[in-house]
Structure 1
Amino acid sequence: MNVSSLSQKEYKSTLRDLQIQLVKLQNHIIQNNLRLLVIFEGRDSAGKDGIIKRITEHLSPRDTRVVALGKPSDREANSWYFQRYVSHLPSAQEMVLMNRSWYNRAGVERVMGFCSEAEYQHFMQMVIQFERMLIESGIHIVKYYLDISKKEQIARLEDRRTNPLKQWKISPIDEVAIAKWNDYSQARNEMLNRSHSDTTPWHVVSADDKKQARINVIRHLLSVIDYQNNLNKHNDVDQNVVFQFTPQNLHNGKISN
């Protein structure tokens, strides 16, 4: 796996400063009755769990929720697709972080054949409208796609298989993640192209370097909502690590093939 360009001392010091800012951001959200929804998508082992853990580590558990839904029940599978997610949306004063979201339909369901072509196309036609409706209702939405190289994914999946502390992360989907690398790439490209919009843009995270990914995602998240005494506003996000998606990214090497 990649060695970070940040030393452990520098990483911990920077992370602590940013986590203090996250507490300030949460206080602002609570005091102003705001609603923040943060969506994390990406390949298996891209580091979604690690980033979410660092964001929520020192936040109030009463006002912060992490949503990681499993396989839908029979009832959910036969309901409006977005319905199972609606009950998990943030209420006033809440921050909700989704570890995978309704974009399952454009990723794993698409690649693994868990949905029909008609269901997939209907989702792609509706998702921007759905998110626009949420924005108009007062929910702030931030979408991150964590991108890693094939070499890095192979190394992380192997570590997952052999590390006794990571056994809970193993899933049947892992076994085909590498074999279906190109299929996932194609599904990702179409998802980014068709669900990126001015109101709910995608932000791509180059996540081979876990420490840099965590630091820069938090920096970016802190820039989304203007809050009092924001000491992070002068710390620029590394545009090589977190950047807003454009179709050119699929061809200029900024996103893994």
Structure 2
Amino acid sequence: MATDAIRREIMDSFDEELEMEFEEERLARLADDLVSEGAADPSGSAGLDRRVYFRELFRLQHELVRLQDWVQSQKLRVVVIFEGRDSAGKGGVIKRITQRLNPRVCRVAALPAPNERERTQWYFQRYVAHLPAAGEIVLFDRSWYNRAGVERVMGFCSEAEVEEFFRSVPEFERMLVRSGIVLLKYWFSITDAEQALRFQMRIHDPLKQWKLSPMDIESRSRWEDYTRAKEAMLQRTHIAEAPWWVVEAVDKKRARLNCISHFLAQIPYGDVAHPSVNLPARVRHDDYVRAPVPPEMFVPALY
């Protein structure tokens, strides 16, 4: 009986990933439909074998847990920046990184557009508030590099402000690194055709339409503007203390595995000794009587 319960608990854990994969299978069928209607298949290569993908993902997630323990024990401060075009797959990688980690140790910072007060502050000020304390990992789903990308392309800032950003960001990041922060920066690269396909899938998928904002629609017509902005950003902010790493992201599964394995390789870590835990016996009292729960308080058992 205990063995069955343990097996069920393990399978429940695996099902978290399977649920996301089933969702992606549904999207893959939608993509097939779009391709059959005349859209080109942008990948041009066979997908990663599913068994290989799962085996490697679970292995890497086990290593992420070890890294988490090491970050806590050594009081490290880790910042990982994820940048890329809309629909490049940043969110999918972030989900797989955080999926089995403690949200008190590894958290995601995904800031909305600045409010009126924040627009009058020092540009980096609202991002500084989300930097990690000792023993924490912060994943920025977009970051201060918004200024070099969407803000520049969409005209939300002046060219003078962009130039000031390019002058300031290397020194800002060097200051973070000097303070002891481990800073990693990833750019997720997809092709024009791949983004077009992913946007079409969002248009045709009612469960994904919320992801398609007016800004995303506008970005399609400004592909070349975004390309020029990206090239300038990589050229002027690729510094020895905090270099950019480009992730080929047309194949989502390979992108996830490649990014996570690279992330793990950037921080030397080892095993952390944990004290053994002995579950104490439950204390029982003869005078304890469990109070009944009124039937109307139960959630209806529809399944």
Shared fold, TM over 0.5: yes
| Structure 1 residue 38 corresponds to structure 2 residue 80 | yes
| Structure 1 residue 124 corresponds to structure 2 residue 166 | yes
Q: What displacement does 1:229 show?
A: 5.1
The answer to whether the 8 A contact 1:4-1:209 is kept is no
1:21 aligned partner:
63
Matches within 5 A, 1:1-257: 2=43, 5-228=47-270
User: 2:245 corresponds to which letter in structure 1?
Assistant: H
Alpha-carbon separation, structure 2, partners of 1:117 and 1:55: 36
1:244 aligned partner:
none
Structure 1 residue runs of 4 or more that deviate by more than 6 Å after TM superposition: none
| Alignment deviations for residues 81-124 of structure 1 (CA, whole Å, 9 cap, x no partner) | 00010000011100000000000000000100000111111001
Larger radius of gyration: 2
User: 1:32 corresponds to which letter in structure 2?
Assistant: Q
Alpha-carbon separation, structure 2, partners of 1:215 and 1:17: 10
Alpha-carbon separation, structure 2, partners of 1:165 and 1:30: 37
The SS at the match of 1:187 is: helix
Alpha-carbon separation, structure 1, partners of 2:227 and 2:85: 9
2:24 aligned partner:
none
Alpha-carbon separation, structure 2, partners of 1:162 and 1:173: 18
Alpha-carbon separation, structure 1, partners of 2:182 and 2:53: 28
| Alignment deviations for residues 110-155 of structure 1 (CA, whole Å, 9 cap, x no partner) | 1000001111110010000000000011110000000100000000
Alpha-carbon separation, structure 2, partners of 1:4 and 1:63: 36
The answer to whether the 8 A contact 2:70-2:271 is kept is no
The answer to whether the 8 A contact 1:4-1:212 is kept is no
Q: What is the aligned length?
A: 230
Q: Where does the alignment leave 5 or more consecutive residues of structure 1 unmatched?
A: 231-257
Change (3 A) 1:100 1:91: same
Q: What displacement does 1:167 show?
A: 2.5
Q: What displacement does 1:166 show?
A: 1.5
Q: What displacement does 1:62 show?
A: 1.0
Q: What displacement does 1:175 show?
A: 0.8
Q: What displacement does 1:4 show?
A: 5.1
The SS at the match of 1:66 is: strand
Q: Where does the alignment leave 5 or more consecutive residues of structure 2 unmatched?
A: 1-40, 273-303
1:246 aligned partner:
none
User: 1:6 corresponds to which letter in structure 2?
Assistant: L
Alpha-carbon separation, structure 2, partners of 1:11 and 1:139: 31
The SS at the match of 1:165 is: coil
Alpha-carbon separation, structure 2, partners of 1:215 and 1:205: 10
